[in-house]
Amino acid sequence: MPDKRPADATVTNPVIPGFHPDPSVCRVGDDYYLVCSSFEYFPGIPVFHSRDLVHWTRIGNALDRPGQLRLTGSPSSGGIYAPTLRHHDGRFWLIVTNVADGEGNMLFTATDPAGPWSDPVYLPGVEGIDPDLAWDEDGTCWVTVAGISQVRIDPYTGETFGPPRKLWSGTPGALAPEAPHLYRIGDHWYLLIAEGGTERGHGVSIARGPAPYGPFEPCPANPVLTHRSSDRPVQNTGHADLVQGPDGSWWMVLLGVRPRGGTPGWHVLGRETFLAPVTWVDGWPVVGEVSPDPAAPPWPLVPGPVEAGRDDFDLGELRPYWISVRDRPEELCTTEERAGCLTLRARGDGLDEPNVVFVGRRQQHLACRVRTRIDPAEGRGGLAVRLDEEHHYEIEVSQGEVRVLGRVGPLRTVVGSRPVPAGPVVLGVRVSGTPVRDARTGPDTLTFGVEEADGTFTALGALDGRYLSTEVAGGFTGRVIGMYAASGTVHFDWFDYEPLAP
């Protein structure tokens, strides 16, 4: 059937918006699978499926059992770093670093990427983050890590053979050579890395050699991708992985950010997954433009199911897009206690605590409206926008009062409040772009309030979004919007996430 798209058709980049960094992709037949870092959130490592590299559907989380993922004691922006996903010998392989104490590098396998995934095979002899997994022609398995060094392993037992071997480490003097990926393409082995740090200096460089262990010669055009020192709308481009499209052409998935506001520019959604075309010239990859609206690829597009914005909590378990901070004990979070409700029981004292009982989803749009209907009963809880324990805004209700609170570093304040009748109440937050007035203008404004019985929205406080950005808070994550319990038991009847025009 002929493609009826106009010749100038475009698609939307990022292809996976919101806090989805460090993408790794593999192709199996006509199907593509992709994973991302998840840091301190549980369940860990979201898994996506696509048929066209443009439309991605979340099919699960690889690490969804406490026996697979221990994050207790992990700081925010600790936990799960930079997985690599590969398919070899009829099986999916996933290697990742858990930087929580005593965990280190781990290897998981599955016959179906939607799960279940195995318990971890620990790799105590593999030191370093961002592990890559590759097999050579005789079946030898190699792990390459940030630094850049490499060691041979038995992927079934985790045993290592010999000391780590230093490989090529990128541009001399460049910061943080990391995110290595090895590929056999044509007559060469290619070593793709990120360098320059994951901030504005981020970039992608590549080298090639005759074997997976080198020796490697660098591409004369390195870095093959960077947006440093530019005014392009996508910044921090790096941490890439290569894959072939349905027509045999080459493509790159990578992370990037979309800064907004004045100077220095604040990105609030975290590092997102972008797609870029790749051509080959003289045996080296040439990366095309990473833009918000690139030309559509030349093959038919295959949109998948759209993730619902509203959840009425009518299933026996939470949908895979819901994430919690470090763990999610069943006795503290359930959809089975009250029909059609999510019930949360508090542990700790709210969002300032590392063990907060919180269920949220990634903010994936530059502008959005989020609402939830909460019955606080005898407890205290509400709706929060979280970056970490020291950077979060929330609207909460207890004992007939609604309050809007802001936590920025050591400061915590009540922004607004009002009485409400006993019983359920609809809480909301609207995230909207802020017109740039001068160099100090922040990226967006978060307006918190209460929805009245007639559907009108009463705002109780508006807060500058820059303080919930990586440029202010530091770290590697992005905003997560969700529900929490700060004391007692609270019930949520529904949650609604609605994208708005930016």
* Catalytic residue annotation: 22, 178
| Residue position matching structure tokens 């290569």 | 242
DSSP assigned state of 376: -
Cβ atoms of residues 393 and 384 within 8 Å: yes
**Dihedral sign (CA 40, 45, 50, 53):** positive
CA distances from 231 to 18, 226, 259, 260, 283 (A): 21, 12, 10, 12, 30
Return d(Cα 130, Cα 84) in angstroms, integer.
Answer: 8
Start-to-end Cα distance in the chain: 36
Cβ atoms of residues 134 and 144 within 8 Å: yes
Q: Is the preceding peptide bond at 14 cis, omega within 30 degrees of 0?
A: yes
Cβ atoms of residues 238 and 192 within 8 Å: no
β-bridge partners, 462: 447
Give the side-chain half-sphere CA count within 13 A for 217. 7
Task: Let me know how long the chain is.
Answer: 502
Cβ atoms of residues 273 and 292 within 8 Å: no
Cβ atoms of residues 257 and 240 within 8 Å: no
Cβ atoms of residues 37 and 476 within 8 Å: yes
Q: What angle do CA 90, 92, 96 make, to 5 degrees?
A: 150
Phi-psi region of 472 (alpha: psi -120 to 50; beta: other; left: phi over 0): alpha
Q: In 10 A of CB 329, how many CB atoms?
A: 13
Q: Is 389 helix (H, G, I), strand (E, B) or coil?
A: coil
With b meaning 16 or more CB within 10 Å and e meaning fewer, what string describes 209-223?
beebbbebebbeebb
